[in-house]
Amino acid sequence: MKENPSMIITGTSKGIGRGIAQYFLSKGYTVFGCSRSASTLEEPEYFHSQVDITDYKQVRTWISSIRKVSPSIDVLICNAGIAPASTLLTMMSGDLVEKVMSTNIGGTYYVCQEVAKQMVRQRSGRIITISSMAVGLHLEGTSAYAASKSAVVEMTKILAKELAPFNITCNTLAPSMMMTDAVEVLGDEIISHALNKLTIKRKLTIDEICNVLSFFIAPQSACITGQVIHMGLVN
């Protein structure tokens, strides 16, 4: 690992994003995080910004501010996303469907676009997007969310081809289930049903998730690009 590596993570105020930030801070990274809300994470090398990633101007301003204080951007982890659950016949409002797509697809694209500009200049970088087991689980009530996360997978594969000439790798991690606030609200019945559809029928730990992220980031993974790693494996 290079001296004083820097990392950008979206969606760090809570849940998996916060756990990822804490993990890589402990490994010596300077971490720039964002979410719509403020963060209670207080570490000397953690810098938080309140950003709505669906707003391209906000994303551009945020990444520009990071470039002014960091000589390089070594890693981007696109973690931010929303996952409202509703079946087609009790479907969420059109505005909420649009919010899912604009956050999970549009927001991810905007951040990748702005960070990639810097990575192209430095001719190196790692981009990791976060998908979900929902893509293969086909669980009732997740149609909009699963569709958005499927789009993220395909987008990442195309970015891998576009950015390969600049020594930038782009991969996707699709974790199964980790106990977060967003998961807890689903209730025991839905959680149990989802876990029973997995090959490894248990919840993930943040260390397990970060182990795969570390694999993607490692210098030895310079030829790993356009790949998706599914954790837990949906049957």
Active site residues: 145
Q: How far apart are CA 25 and CA 12, in angstroms?
A: 12
Q: Which amino acid is at 189?
A: E
166 three-class SS: helix
> What's phi and psi for 27, nearest 5 deg?
-95, 5
Q: Which helix (H) or strand (E) holds 229?
A: strand 228-230
Question: 135: which residues sit within 8 A by CB, 6+ positions away?
Answer: 146, 149, 150, 153, 174
